[in-house]
Amino acid sequence: MHLFDTATASPAPLIPRDGRIGMYVCGITPYDGGHLGHAFTYHTFDVIARRLRADGVTVRSVRNVTDVDDDILRVARERGVGYLELGERESQRFDRDMADLGLLDVDASPRATARVPEMVEWIARLVDAGAAYESQGWVYFQVDLFPAYGSLCRLDTATMVKLSRSRGADPDDPRKRNPLDFVLWQPSRDGEPHWPSPWSAGRPGWHIECTVLSASELALPIDIHGGGDDLIFPHHESEIAQAVAAGVPDYVRHWVHVAMVGYHGEKMSKSLGNLVFVRELLDEVPAAVVRLLLSAHHHRVAWEYDRSELARAHARWDAYGAAMDTMSRFSIADAQAVRDGFMSRIDDDIDTPGALAVLDDLAGRSLHSGPRGVGDVATAQLMAPLLDVLGAPLATG
């Protein structure tokens, strides 16, 4: 399988070590249900895992839960509930949404709050190495000492500063030596959860959480680390910086990022309120239809959801079901060619639209060839395992 690697901006072969692949996908801050943007991201990594498992590769997949940050503390305050209670309830709801969408269970979903002492240790290592500095109880990573900062996102300084502001950082923070320095540790305000550290009673920054959780759960270098492409900067850029500066020069082998889903002309996001929740779609159509809808989009191409997509995916699902109900059969060589065609599309940077084209062609041939009793492989036999790779199982009637 070849996966496009954000770090090199080119496709690179994914080679399992001892038949194993470790995959870390950045999870959510749990204070709401899953929306279609989440679904597109996690669906993509699920297809990667399913494809690898179909080849006998052992995949260990990890998706963290950011159960302490500014957002969850704010929402917990607004709703008058404890942040841990809110986080636990909402992450269970999110997990249910993803399970009902047919995603394979992840092997671990570590909570940020469970490993704060390790985060403190990691930050202390950065301070000792001179890569981070303390100011009034806050600790920042010093990007000036890390010339490679910006090499993952390939953005100039001005654009990074602007983007950091829109993604939760404060480039005007007077304690910072450089506007791009990012928070490793911050003192907690009154009433906020806090942990002891050499600098203040406080809590970790978001970026250090994922570096520590991924390094705790998976062998280094991590084979696949990814998420939505809005995480490239500053989140993953900063993860690389703090890993390398702490003595992990080879942190990740493949950075994989999934494009954003838009709705009503804007990126689908909580802050804009233009969300299509997974649950709403699952109330309307079978999960396999949603998976076919998602599969119709290449994971690196941003797209905009509109309801006509649901009807198109449903029509496709119906056509596949009808094809599987036919008595059509294929020769072993013919069936193998279809399988190879499908897998070669998936192996080419998860080209799910291309894989669907192979299935469309197979369905068309089955439906138009009329009943044929000859051949060794029935359409259903051929199609079912391929649909499984997309997480879109079809019951045969």
**Spatial distance between the Cα atoms of 391 and 397, rounded to a whole number of angstroms:** 19
Q: Which two tokens stand for residue 391?
A: 């997480």
The binding site for Zn ion (CB under 5 A) comprises 26, 210
C-alpha to C-alpha distances, 139 to 166, 244, 261, nearest whole angstrom? 21, 17, 34
Residue 23 or 210: which CB sits closer to Zn ion? 210
Residue 213 or 386: which CB sits closer to Zn ion? 213
Least spacing, CB of residue 239 vs Zn ion, in Å: 7
Least spacing, CB of residue 167 vs Zn ion, in Å: 13
Least spacing, CB of residue 93 vs Zn ion, in Å: 20
Beta-carbon contacts of residue 82 (< 8 Å; ≥ 6 apart): 76
Instruction: Compute how many other C-beta atoms are within 10 angstroms of the C-beta atom of residue 174.
Output: 7
Residue 152 or 288: which CB sits closer to Zn ion? 152
Beta-carbon contacts of residue 58 (< 8 Å; ≥ 6 apart): 16, 19, 20, 21
Residue 50 or 207: which CB sits closer to Zn ion? 207
Cβ atoms of residues 42 and 25 within 8 Å: yes
Residue 91 or 352: which CB sits closer to Zn ion? 91
Cβ atoms of residues 34 and 97 within 8 Å: yes
Least spacing, CB of residue 231 vs Zn ion, in Å: 6
Residue 210 or 343: which CB sits closer to Zn ion? 210
Least spacing, CB of residue 235 vs Zn ion, in Å: 5
Instruction: Compute how many other C-beta atoms are within 10 angstroms of the C-beta atom of residue 72.
Output: 22
Least spacing, CB of residue 63 vs Zn ion, in Å: 10
